[in-house]
Amino acid sequence: MPPPADIVKVAIEWPGAYPKLMEIDQKKPLSAIIKEVCDGWSLANHEYFALQHADSSNFYITEKNRNEIKNGTILRLTTSPAQNAHQLHERIQSSSMDAKLEALKDLASLSRDVTFAQEFINLDGISLLTQMVESGTERYQKLQKIMKPCFGDMLSFTLTAFVELMDHGIVSWDTFSVAFIKKIASFVNKSAIDVSILQRSLAILESMVLNSHDLYQKVAQEITIGQLIPHLQGTDQEIQTYTIAVINALFLKAPDEKRQEMANILAQKQLRSIILTHVIRAQRAINNEMAHQLYVLQVLTFNLLEDRMMTKMDPQDQAQRDIIFELRRIAFDAESEPNNSSGSMEKRKSMYTRDYKKLGFINHVNPAMDFTQTPPGMLALDNMLYFAKHHQDAYIRIVLENSSREDKHECPFGRSSIELTKMLCEILKVGELPSETCNDFHPMFFTHDRSFEEFFCICIQLLNKTWKEMRATSEDFNKVMQVVKEQVMRALTTKPSSLDQFKSKLQNLSYTEILKIRQSERMNQEDFQSRPILELKEKIQPEILELIKQQRLNRLVEGTCFRKLNCRRRQDKFWYCRLSPNHKVLHYGDLEESPQGEVPHDSLQDKLPVADIKAVVTGKDCPHMKEKGALKQNKEVLELAFSILYDSNCQLNFIAPDKHEYCIWTDGLNALLGKDMMSDLTRNDLDTLLSMEIKLRLLDLENIQIPDAPPPIPKEPSNYDFVYDCN
């Protein structure tokens, strides 16, 4: 007979004694269980004790999390969180430097536990730590020279404990003084400082900026871009990552009117070239967190274009109209400008109308009307002027080449530029907030100060080339734009390292090549519609679905590393989940760092029987997406979120590393529950495998026409003389 569901078998350790094997009744109060354990070892005052996990997490067992205890868990009897917090509160104020250092080291470790953190914060522990940081340097100024390593460790542990305590979200960031901010900023501004102190100081500044508008203003006064730049020129990628994170935070929280000013400062300090030299082109791989921060910086930089993208042109604004005049002047200066002064007003208007038609504007009389649509608004005109001034030869060639054609195959430069700018803004998602999980940065955008404009210049020349290759007319405009979008997207997926390399990739993606790729893809996904083929598909489909199901379950058995996200996007929070080989239990647990390869089952402490799973929910239905916070507002995170619901009010929350892993896990979990696999990945796999299987089965029928209907049954023969009796 199986044991009752409320009984959990565990081992409990106590220093200097043999571990006890014990059955815990989950219906009993936790205090009664602790008393029972203390009585077994003859320990008085059981209220001063608590149970905690004996693994590397050392998290306390509470009434809230006790249901997470599984059979076989190893626990440890230890001092209660309140007692521990009280003792450490006194120890960190010790006059002995060694005792103080040891106490701060313990505090940094214990502060990861929310139960202990709450007790320590109740003792006004955060204020004590901030006072130690504010006064510590002055108090121990003389000791620094003789005890520098000790002082550095002490400050490092203090800041670590502070970061861990604040990470729980119990205390508001708005409560900190200007003196504390100045002190933290001073650690960042020092040229020579311990790496661990610098790292934690940068992390604190980032959190201050992201979590409080008032603190953003105070931090912005204390920290300048010039003071952060030297940290990017070092070799420690973690410091570089935190530095870019602080810059991104300042950029993100800056008022709209100050963002352009900040961008100008970044340009003056040559941030882009420093990142390109010391980060992107450094002789080491870029880790996921750095890739994410570079992606965020890329998005925030492109979002500066949003204002121009959403600004309509005012047809009455002379300064804006002068830009259009300048486009006309650069293109037609040589052939028409000398006649302008002598001609009548009517002749000049007629000539301007003719030239604006040659420039490819839809409205020949008043081209300003072409720029009243948003997006792309004035951004399109800015791009056209940049192209005309910085790539003048290419601009004049394109305009004159198309204006001299009389066969209706001219490519309208004005209309093309407007639609192309709109398309590039869509591709780069200009105006959207950066995703919490995306790492998709493009190195080539860090190779030029005006990367978007240069991107446009390359693409407008591509559009003109593709137009000629397609021998397009104005009726084919949308078709050309679709081909150009495909060319640009395919080139971007290769992650070219420079704009020249991007241009080279596009050269290899001519219209002819795009047609070949499309034809190849169409052949691979060919959908035979004849009745015999459809019947064959129906027969094969269950086998293919079973194959896909086994692949999904095998991937769940291998497991996946998931990132724990919070407001600060800490890069050291990971957890791993995998399915047992017999497909009956999900094993999961926290990790100190991202694993290399599979994580063995025995290192994952927590278990969830598949039989206990009630449902799998995705997106907005997930409990962790209903909570207040930045994640809720992020579309991409919503698309990667799913949760397993079990027992009464328990859930296991996931945010997949990417869309592929999201599909693998949602498919696999649905398969375990006996439900259909509905992801896009399953549909694509099913189409691909079905197509391949049908082609393999039809190899012997190559070049034979398959009829739509079965052949008719022939008439009976007039006699059966052809039948022989073999006896």
Does position 572 have pLDDT exceeding 60, yes or no? no
Question: Can you give the pLDDT at residue 726?
Answer: 64
**For helices 451-470 and 413-427, angle between their N-to-C axes, nearest 10 degrees:** 120
Question: Can you give the pLDDT at residue 406?
Answer: 66
Kindly state the average pLDDT of the residues 35-60.
Answer: 88
**DSSP 8-state assignment for residue 285:** P
Question: Can you give the pLDDT at residue 528?
Answer: 61
Cis peptide before 376 (omega within 30 of 0): yes
Question: Can you give the pLDDT at residue 555?
Answer: 93
User: In the β-sheet with 20-25, what is the strand arrangement from edge to edge?
Assistant: 20-25, 7-13, 74-79, 49-53
Reported as a pLDDT band with limits 50, 70 and 90, residue 725 is low
Question: Can you give the pLDDT at residue 328?
Answer: 92
Cα–Cα dist 567/334, whole Å: 59
Question: Can you give the pLDDT at residue 723?
Answer: 67
Does position 139 have pLDDT exceeding 60, yes or no? no
Give me the DSSP letters along 632-672. Answer: HH-HHHHHHEEEEEETTTEEEEEE-SSHHHHHHHHHHHHHH
Kindly state the average pLDDT of the residues 394-413.
Answer: 86
**pLDDT tens-place string over residues 653-670:** 998 988 999 999 999 999
Question: Can you give the pLDDT at residue 703?
Answer: 60
* Average pLDDT of the chain, as a whole number: 86
Reported as a pLDDT band with limits 50, 70 and 90, residue 119 is very high
**β strands within 513-649, DSSP E:** 560-563, 574-579, 585-591, 606-609, 613-618, 641-646
Percent of the chain's residues with pLDDT above 70 = 90
Question: Can you give the pLDDT at residue 567?
Answer: 46
Question: Can you give the pLDDT at residue 107?
Answer: 94
Does position 727 have pLDDT exceeding 80, yes or no? no
Kindly state the average pLDDT of the residues 226-247.
Answer: 93
**pLDDT tens-place string over residues 426-468:** 999 999 989 888 888 999 999 999 999 999 999 999 999 999 9
Does position 509 have pLDDT exceeding 50, yes or no? yes
pTM: 0.76
349/203: higher pLDDT: 203
Percent of the chain's residues with pLDDT above 90 = 54
Q: Which two tokens stand for residue 691?
A: 């197509």
Q: What domains appear along the chain, each with residue ranges and CATH number?
A: 5-78 (3.10.20.90), 126-307 (1.25.10.10), 313-333+344-417+438-519 (no CATH), 543-681 (2.30.29.30)
Q: Which amino acid belongs to residue 166?
A: M
Does position 628 have pLDDT exceeding 50, yes or no? no
Q: Which two tokens stand for residue 473?
A: 């007319």
**DSSP 8-state assignment for residue 40:** H
**pLDDT tens-place string over residues 174-193:** 888 889 999 999 999 887 78
Cα–Cα dist 583/554, whole Å: 9
Question: Can you give the pLDDT at residue 140?
Answer: 46
Distances (CA, A) of 509 to 169, 489, 638: 51, 11, 34
